[in-house]
Amino acid sequence: MRLLLPLSLAALLIAAGCSKDKDVEPPAVLVDFPQKLPVKRLWDDGVGGGKKQTKLRLGLGPAIDNGVVFAANHKGEMLAVSLETGRDVWVKKLKVPISAGPAAGFGIVVAGTSKGAVIALDGATGRQLWRSQINSELLSSPAISEKVVVMRSVDGRLHGLEKSTGKLLWSVEQQVPRLSLRGTATPIVAKEIAISGFDNGKVMAVSLTTGDTIWDTALASPHGRTELDRLVDIDSAVRVVGDNVFAAGFQGRTAMLALDSGQLWWSHDMSSYRGLSVDEDNLYVTESDGTVVAMRQRDGAEVWRNDKLKRRGLSTPVVTSSAIAVADFQGYLHWLDKNTGELVARERIAKKQRVSNPPAGSGDTVVVLTDAGTLAAYRATPKAQRPPPPAATPIAAPAPAVTPPTGNAPTAIPPTTESPASGTPAPTEQPPAENPAPAPATPAPATPPPVTPPPVTPPPAAPPP
């Protein structure tokens, strides 16, 4: 019989080194810092859950598709709300213990239950499309492609179901250790390949249509004398960028693999059960101790490291345009600068509500679901992306008074020029002549004519950092 170790117990025993004499380090204390990134709370909602849901460590997290946020609770209620306004689109009561998902894509929403049921709903209306049975607990969101839904169950199996009917197309299996962390990796789909990590430390890729194994690569091998030492679970989703796969495992490594063969291009010893996120150039890893690390994709070189949130049970990072967002065990959401790792913003979602599952991101908007069922959306807009204020129109200085001349010789009046590059008035003065001629005898008018400045073009906004 497989034993599932609660994550909190595993982290506690490992941190303590299984020794009663060694004290466990407390979570890092939050300190004030200058809030450099403006954050706005768009809306919040209550999905529900209760104490039982909090203790079960379920794989319930938000999903975003086509401007709609989907969320569910263990009591079987699933809802869809507008990403911009938070207004309900639909609510569906399924009356089953939902434990995985939901995931959304290609017009459908799919969730799994503690009893192995897979349920698909219409994304626009919430109408149930089909229900299938796998007969094993589900603890991670499915992956949805145009024709296949991929589910990962706790018994070490990866299942492919027909998207239109829920019919089981194929099923493949990896060996499950006797002891593992509570949770399973979320599968992903890339280029007609389904990829997932497993509790034995392997990453496996299978054909999306046939289920044939294309490759499986060991990210880490169990070692040590105790069962706790030998835990090498991959409990987070891998990421694919182009032809490369990025993966991170508990008490194992963070590595880049070839999508077509599974060959390891580079790897670094690093422990993570929350996983990683990627952008165009870097990957961002939440380590097991709460340290957040940025690494270059091409060679794995470390870009920056932030350990100011250690032991705070951080979530998987979410990438926005200028920052990385992570949530913690006390209901705080933190933003770190993508370039430096510096803390730039912080908001509290709810008091004493842990966030275990990955938040969802869309542009600069981050949606978080706490374990107790609080659903909230935040938008962090970098200052550089704000439209510049309208430029003030410069006031022309009055012309200097003209002294009546003593002679009759005319004097040349210096012209006013503009800067051609920017269009901004740039008055220039002609150097005085060595022997200036006297001004004309005609006196100057009492009031000089008004000078109308040319239109001012505001400078272009600075690019985002």
- Chain centroid to CA 66: 17
Per-residue pLDDT of the chain (465 residues; tens, 9 = 90+): 444 444 444 444 444 444 444 568 899 999 999 999 999 999 999 998 777 787 888 999 999 999 999 999 999 999 999 999 999 999 999 999 999 999 999 999 999 999 999 999 999 999 999 999 998 999 999 999 999 999 999 999 999 999 999 999 999 999 999 999 999 999 999 999 999 999 999 999 999 999 999 999 999 989 888 999 999 999 999 999 999 999 999 999 999 999 999 999 999 999 999 999 999 999 999 999 999 999 999 999 999 999 999 999 999 999 999 999 999 999 999 999 999 999 999 999 999 899 999 999 999 999 999 999 999 999 999 876 555 555 544 544 444 444 444 444 444 433 333 333 333 333 433 334 444 444 444 444 444 444 444 444 444 444 443
**12: DSSP letter:** H
Which whole-number Å values give the CA distances from 433 to 310, 388, 430, 437, in the listed order?
72, 43, 9, 9
Distance of CA 39 to the CA centre of its chain: 15
Q: Model pTM? A: 0.78
Residue 386, pLDDT score: 53
Contacts of 246 by beta carbon, 8 Å cutoff, 6+ apart: 238, 239, 240, 254, 255, 256, 257, 276, 278, 283, 297
> Cβ distance 394 to 60 under 8 Å?
no
What are the distances in angstroms from CA 196 to CA 4, 132, 187, 274?
19, 21, 5, 14
- Host H or E run for residue 367: strand 365-369
- pLDDT score, position 426: 39
Q: Is 96 exposed, middle or buried (0-12, 13-18, 19+ CB in 10 A)?
A: middle
Residue 189 burial by CB count (10 A; 0-12/13-18/19+): exposed, middle or buried?
buried
- The sign of the CA dihedral 197, 198, 203, 207 is negative
- HSE of 334, CA atoms in CB hemisphere, 13 A: 32
Angle at 441 between CA 440 and CA 447, to 5 degrees: 85
User: Cα(212)–Cα(155) distance, rounded to whole angstroms?
Assistant: 19
DSSP secondary structure letter of residue 14? H
| Closest C-alpha among 326, 354, 357 to residue 341 | 326
Q: What is the DSSP string of 135-177?
A: SS-B-S--EE-SSEEEEEBTTSEEEEEETTT--EEEEEE----
Strand duo 318-319 + 292-296: pairing: unpaired
Dihedral of alpha carbons 21, 11, 271, 200, sign:
positive
Of the chain, the end-to-end C-alpha distance in Å amounts to: 52
| Per-residue pLDDT tens digits for 193-239 | 999 999 999 999 999 999 999 999 999 989 888 999 999 999 999 99
Do 112 and 98 form a contact (C-beta atoms < 8 A)? yes
Distance CA 356, CA 37 (A): 24
Q: How many CB atoms lie within 10 A of CB 267?
A: 16
Region of 339 please: left (phi>0), alpha (psi -120 to 50) or beta: alpha
Per DSSP, the residues of 382-430 read -GGGSPPPPPPPPPPPPPPPPPPPSS----PPPP--B-TTT--B----P
Alpha-carbon span 264 to 218, nearest angstrom: 10
Gyration radius (Cα) of the chain, Å? 31
386 close to 368: Cβ distance less than 8 angstroms: no
- Residue 143 and residue 148: Cα distance in Å, rounded? 8
